[in-house]
Amino acid sequence: MVIEIKKFGEVLVSRPAGREAFLAMSAYLTKGVSKDEIIEIDFSGVKVLTPSWADEVITKIAEEFKNVKLLNTENATVQATLKTLREYSDLKI
Amino acid sequence: MKIISSVDNFSCGICSGRGGIIQVDKNFNIKIKKYICCHTTAYGSGGKTNMKQNKKGNVAVITVIIVIVAITAGVIGWKFAKKSQAPIETKTVAQQPVVNSIDQNQATAQQEDGIVYKNEKYGFQLTLPKEWENYKASLVENKTYGNIINFQLLSKSSEYNTVMNIIVQDLVSYNKMIANCEGKIGEGTCYDYNSYLWGKTSKYAVYRIGNEDFPEDLMARYNQISEIEKSFKVIDSETAGWQTYRNEKYGFELKMPQDWEAKVETDNTNSFGTENVAFLTQDGNGDSFEIMWIVIIPVKNIDECFNTPDCFIGNEISKKNDFSFRISRGDVGGMVPDKYQEQKFKDIVAVVKTFKFIN
């Protein structure tokens, strides 16, 4: 399954907005999906990603599913955010 | 939950004046067996400051009891000694709660690591230590507060005594009670209930204040309660007992907690044709607030809305018949006290997972 992050906007900031995005995903994307399924998170089209937004979405998806892959992470803010999450939020991907 | 009670609580105020078992053997030697009274409160035993005073008082009371009992026993002994040599036993039975009914909703299963107590009605289970093998559980109904489940064990005196009682209260009245006690902790029956909470099922809060009264020989069992508390497990499904909200106009439904209510709001402040279903619940003060919205907007108006600063429509969860169904959270912006944030968010996640179209 591929989750296109750009569906939630191009500028992804704040925890409330991140939680809301996670909620929407829970309702239509990840509902009933097996914990073992491969989840691909696609960052293409994202202009700004912040650690607060990503911590509410990426970290939670990584906690819920065993096989999570990140795609198109070239954007500098995406790179920096993922680095921060790995260091401070125990993100294992 | 921290259990503050200890043997020192023997002198706690709530239990002062309670008696013990006074035994007179065949040689007219008198033995007094103490009852242990344990009451966990947020403020400690409450008896510590008066400990010395109470001890002095206890000595005086015990001395008087000994004298009275000795005289009584002497008279009784003189009267009946010739008839029988059997020992005379006088008991002061500790006050027990009135049991209205035996708990019919329980089931137990012996496992290697203990005995599983399962309560289907309230949707939780506990693992009791092996030493609780012969326990009895009974339900005391209480409409004002929650129903109480008393766990009783056999003491050396061959009597069942309540060693642990836990309260099961429906979430609506539990939340009201918390709200009523806001800023009044310590007054009347206002305890810091959340610190006594063992857990919540979809419909009930399960907690233990601790006001048990039992003989000293059951103290070791009482000390196992913290272990039992850790074994608390919810066995009902996340949404069991929830109410169903149906929207016939747009043809969808979802499940939501009993204390939520839905309210349809037509947004006339813009020209995007949005219609919102607001879901309301209560915060810690008993005030209603909007916890989430399902926003319904014609698909053709989405782009225009995105380009308008004040048009906020959340994230899409589904599309049907040219309408986009979207989710927007309300539990932000300081409306919910921090301690409720996580639970509220878990509720919202569970609710949106139940969203589905009818037909």
Residue B316 to residue A28, Cβ atoms within 8 A: yes
Question: Distance between CA atoms of B15 and B159, rounded to whole angstroms?
Answer: 19
SS3 state at A80: helix
Give the per-residue pLDDT at B190.
85
Which of B87-91, B144-148, B205-209, B235-239 has the lowest average pLDDT? B87-91
Tell me the pLDDT band of B161, cut-offs 50, 70 and 90.
Answer: very high
Judged against a pLDDT cut of 70, whether residue A45 lies above it is answered with yes
Of A3-7, B101-105, B267-271, B302-306, least confident by mean pLDDT is: B101-105
Residues of B with Cβ-Cβ distance to A27 under 8 angstroms: 317-318, 327, 352-353, 355
Q: Which residues of A touch B292 (CB under 8 A)?
A: 23
Q: Kindly determine whether residue A7 and residue B353, on different chains, have CB atoms separated by under 8 Å.
A: no
Question: Rg for chain B (alpha carbons), in Å?
Answer: 29
Q: Which of B332, B345, B352 sits opposite A27 (nearest CB)?
A: B352
- For the ranges B13-27, B39-53, B212-226, the maximum mean pLDDT occurs at B212-226
For residue B332, pLDDT beyond 70: no
Helices and strands (H and E) in chain A: how many: 3, 5
Strands laid side by side in the B30-33 sheet: B30-33, B21-24, B88-91
Residues A20 and A28: their CA atoms lie apart, in Å, by 13
Which of B130-139, B192-201, B312-321 has the highest mean predicted lDDT (pLDDT)? B130-139
How far CA A27 is from CA of A35, B137, B187, B228, in Å, comes to: 16, 41, 44, 36
SS3 of residue B115 by DSSP: strand
Domain boundaries, chain A: 2-88
The predicted-structure confidence for B207-218, as pLDDT tens digits, reads as follows 998 878 888 899
Alpha-carbon distance A44 to nearest alpha carbon in chain B (angstroms): 18
Q: Has residue B1 got a pLDDT over 90?
A: no
The answer to which of B91-100, B163-172, B286-295 has the lowest mean pLDDT is: B91-100
Confidence of residue B146 (pLDDT cuts 50, 70, 90): confident
Q: Which two tokens stand for residue B251?
A: 């043809």
Q: Chain B residues with CB-CB distance to A under 8 A? A: 292, 314-318, 326-329, 332-333, 345, 348-349, 352-353, 355
Average pLDDT over residues B204-231: 90
Q: Find which of B14-23, B220-229, B327-336 is predicted with most confidence, using mean pLDDT.
A: B220-229
CB nearest B327 (choices: A16, A24, A31): A24
Judging contacts by C-beta atoms under 8 Å, the chain A residues touching residue B349 are 22-23, 26
Average pLDDT, chain B: 72
Pair of tokens at residue A23 = 């909620």
**What tens digit of pLDDT does each residue of B91-134 get?**
223 333 333 344 555 666 666 678 999 887 888 999 999 999 99
Ordered alpha helix ranges (H), A1-93: 15-28, 51-64, 76-88
Residue A29 Rama label (left phi>0; alpha psi -120 to 50; beta): alpha
- pLDDT at A21 exceeding the cut of 50: yes
* Residues, chain A: 93
pLDDT at B10: 28
Contacts of B332 in chain A (CB under 8 A): 16, 19
Given an 8 Å threshold on Cβ–Cβ distance, is A20 in contact with B317?
A: no
Measure Cα distances from B168 to A55, B143, B175, B286 in Å: 36, 11, 13, 20
% of chain A exceeding 70 in pLDDT: 100
Instruction: Please give the pLDDT value at position B229.
Output: 93
Q: Say whether pLDDT at A20 is over 50.
A: yes
Contact at CB, B352 and A20, closer than 8 angstroms: no
Q: Is the pLDDT of residue B6 over 50?
A: no
Residue with tokens 């509720």: B347
Tokens 């979430």, residue?
Answer: B171
Q: Which of B284, B282, B259 is nearest to B182 (CA)?
A: B284
Residue B140 has pLDDT above 80, yes or no: yes
Distance CA B67, CA B61 (A): 10
Mean pLDDT computed over B277-292? 82
Q: Do A20 and B314 touch (CB under 8 A)?
A: yes
In terms of phi and psi (left: phi > 0; alpha: psi -120 to 50; beta: otherwise), the region of B55 is alpha
A23 to B332: CB separation less than 8 angstroms, yes or no: no
The count of CB pairs under 8 A between chains A and B is 43
The whole-angstrom separation of Cα B255 and Cα B246 is 9
CB contact under 8 A, A27 and B332: no
Rounded to an integer, the average pLDDT of A18-24 is: 90
ipTM higher than threshold 0.90: no
What lies within 8 Å, CB to CB, of B106 at 6+ separation is B117, B118, B119, B137
Q: Provide mean pLDDT across the span A71-75.
A: 95
Contact B329 A7 (CB under 8 A): no
B308: closest CA of chain A, how far (Å): 14
| Residue B314 to residue A28, Cβ atoms within 8 A | no
Gap between the Cα atoms of B345 and B49, Å rounded: 43
Q: Compute the distance between CA of residue B126 and CA of residue B119 in angstroms, rounded to an integer.
A: 9
* % of residues, chain A, pLDDT over 90: 57
Determine the residue of chain B that is closest to A6 in CA distance: B315
Distance CA B290, CA B313 (A): 15
Q: What percent of chain B has pLDDT over 70?
A: 64
pLDDT in the model for residue B64: 62
What pLDDT was estimated at residue B223?
Answer: 93
